[in-house]
Each structure stands twice: as C-alpha cells, then as structure tokens.
Structure 1
Amino acid sequence: MSAFPRTYFSRRKRLASHACLKTRKGADMRTKPAKPHLPTIAAVLLLACGFILLGLTASPEAMAQEDTQENAQENTGQIDYAGFQALTAEAAPHRAARLVPLETFNTMRADPDTLIIDARSAQAFALGHIEGAVNLNFSDFTEEKLAAVIGPKDRRILIYCNNNFTDDVAPVPLKSAPLALNIATYVNLYGYGYRNLYELDGAYGLSDERVVWAGNEG
C-alpha cells in the first residue's frame, strides 16, 4: 500500500493541470493581436475630414493671398519695397534741408557747374522747361545714364516738377501732391549716391517774371 493517500495524487494532478492551463492562456494573450481602438480611429478620421473640408471651403481671396505670400517668400526678384521705405526715410531729413525758394534756385542755376534736371517726359520738356535744364525722363534713371548726364557724384543738382507751378495746364498739369515727381526724383538721386541736391520749393505761375521759361512750343 502506498505511503501517500490517493487524494494526495489527485490534488497534485489538478494543480498541474491548472498550471498548464494558465501557461497556455498567457501564451494566447501574448500572441493574440490587440483589437483596434475604434473611438481613436474615428476621431482621427473626423479630424482629417475637417482639414480637407477647410481647404475646400477656403475663400479664393484667402487662397490667393496665401499663394502671393508664398511666391513673395520664394522669389523677391529685383524689387525691394522695404528697402525703398528705408531709403525714403533716410532721404527725408536730407531733402527737408535742401528745399530752396525760387530766388535761391535762380542764384544756384546761374552757376555753370550746376545742373538742372527735368525728369518729366520728353514731350512735356519740349513744350516748356526752366531755361538751362536738361531732360532725363524719370523712367530712364539708371546708374549708367545718371553718370553720363551728371558726371561726378558731388556736382550740384537742382530739380523741379509740374507741382512747382500753379497754372495746371500743359505742359505742367498738377499731379497728386503725395505723388509729385520731385519726391520720387529726389529719393532716386539720393539712392544712387548723389547728395548735393536741391529742390525748388513752393509753387509759382508761369507768368511770374522770376520763372525763366524756355522751349515753349505749345
């Protein structure tokens, strides 16, 4: 007769069977793929659809503005508006100190080494201009052309434009004051390195005897 009761062996067998079952279930849990988290997937899909709809419903103006900004960042070309603003701000105090009345303008004009630049069109220049002025259309301003007409950078330069005259007739029709040609001419000459600049200040009638007018073919 065995030294151990039969119930002992039956208990050991049940324990072993239970341990084997736990081991198999653990292995199944490790190898069984996790179920997808459906709420998370749904949230991601909804978010993606939202972005797509946002792009489809964006206004043409907003899309055009975005394209313009991207193009500006990618290719600024040879146009520097920020640089022009900085140049204008730098030239402003210089110009403010170089505005001269007609009497002073005429005194300076009498100096043979002084150059008067008329930046209006060739047609307007032919119809009438201050005596002694040379015509260089503003749209033709380049480093080379300015050097050819002016010569040394320190040469004294006088400028005037339509808005220096009150008649508002050809060849001196008035322009919008903020867009007066003198302003752009001064800033450009300053930007090209010319500092000995003087601008006619004020406005005068063509019949004013102090205005020495020439070339009137109209």
Structure 2
Amino acid sequence: MKTLIKIMIMIPFAIQAQEKKELPKSKVDYNSFLDISEEILQYREERLIPLHEFLEYMKDENTILLDTRSETAYKNKHLKGAIHINFSDFTKNKLAKYIPSKDTRILIYCNNNIDGDLDHFATKMAPLALNIPTFINLYGYGYKNIFELSSLVGVQDERLQFEGAAAK
C-alpha cells in the first residue's frame, strides 16, 4: 500500500518534469525561405510569360498546366487541361506523382491572372498571389522548368477555355 501511495505522489512530479523538457525546434526555417526567394528573384522574372506564349506552351503534350488553388475552386472552374495539386499538399512525393520529371515544363496561373469572375477567381492582394509561393516551392523541390502567366486576362477572352462545374 505504501508503494502505491508513493507512486501516486510521484506521478505529478514526473509529469511536470516531462512537460518542462525542451522540445526540438519546429521544421520551419524562415531564413532559408528568404534565401531561396532571393535566389530565384531574377530567375522567376525571366520566366514570366505573356498569354500568347503561355497558350503556345499549353499545346505541347509534354507540358503540364498546374492549378494549385483549392480543390473546390479547381472543381468549379479552371483552365482547360489543368491538373490539380492543392498548394498546401505540396510534398516531394506528391509532386513526383503528378509531374513525371524535374525537367517537365510546368505552366502556372492563379486567381490574379483571371479578371472578371470574382466568384471563381477571387483576386488576392498582389504580394500574396498564389503564383509566388507556388513558383518558390516548385523551384525548391527541384522543378526549374517553370513558366508563370504574366498577363491579366479577362474571363471573356475567347482564347481561354475553362472546365469545371461552373464553366460555361
């Protein structure tokens, strides 16, 4: 009985000691994020392409048109032929599953490239547009053949074709 009482008394102290133990640092490295952002600044600038070039690249069967918006946004309306990988799901394995080679040409666009349809392409604040973190992450995972649509295109522009539940 005395042993049981001792154990019951000691448990709270053991728990407190465990709680005070220093946990390892998270796997978040803001300085490295800044470094890679700085590293690709000029590189990204050279890979911003206007609509006519973007449309030409889309014709190549070895090119992937990537939509990284939410699954709901993608299912409702996206550029015809786009594949979907939600940005928050980016991992080495998930990207490798959908992108056959690190040399594959990848085209990216986001809400801030499509004008006139706030229901399906709601404009983000310019520095927070999804293209920026998408480009940085693809580059960071080793995909360097990325091209980003630089144009703001009206949703009524006949050169664009859309798919999805809300596409007409």
> TM-score scaled by structure 2?
0.83
Return structure 1 stretches of 4+ with deviation > 3 angstroms: none
Verify: 1:149 aligned to 2:98, yes or no: yes
- Kindly indicate whether the alpha-carbon contact (under 8 Å) linking 1:168 and 1:174 is maintained by their aligned counterparts in 2: no
How far residue 215 of structure 1 moved from its aligned partner, in angstroms, is 1.8
Aligned to 1:44: none
User: Which structure has the larger Rg?
Assistant: 1
Aligned to 2:31: 82
- Kindly indicate whether the alpha-carbon contact (under 8 Å) linking 2:77 and 2:120 is maintained by their aligned counterparts in 1: yes
Q: Going by fraction, where is helix more abundant, 1 or 2?
A: 1
How far residue 91 of structure 1 moved from its aligned partner, in angstroms, is 1.2
Residues 83-138 of structure 1: CA distance to partner in whole angstroms, max 9, x if unpaired?
Answer: 00001111111110000111100100000000011000111011111111001000
Aligned to 1:184: 133
Q: Equivalent residue of 1:125, what SS?
A: helix
Aligned to 2:49: 100
> TM-score scaled by structure 1?
0.64
Quick one: distance in 2 between partners of 1:106 and 1:149?
Answer: 21
How far residue 168 of structure 1 moved from its aligned partner, in angstroms, is 4.7
Verify: 1:161 aligned to 2:113, yes or no: no
Q: Indicate which of 145, 155, 160 corresponds to 1:211.
A: 160
Amino acid in the other structure paired with 2:88: S
Q: Indicate which of 126, 140, 144 corresponds to 1:195.
A: 144
Q: Going by fraction, where is strand more abundant, 1 or 2?
A: 2
Unaligned runs of 5+ in 1: 1-70
Aligned to 2:88: 139
Q: Equivalent residue of 1:157, what SS?
A: strand
Higher relative contact order (CA 8 A, sep 6+): 2
RMSD over equivalenced CA pairs, Å: 1.4
- Kindly indicate whether the alpha-carbon contact (under 8 Å) linking 1:206 and 1:213 is maintained by their aligned counterparts in 2: no
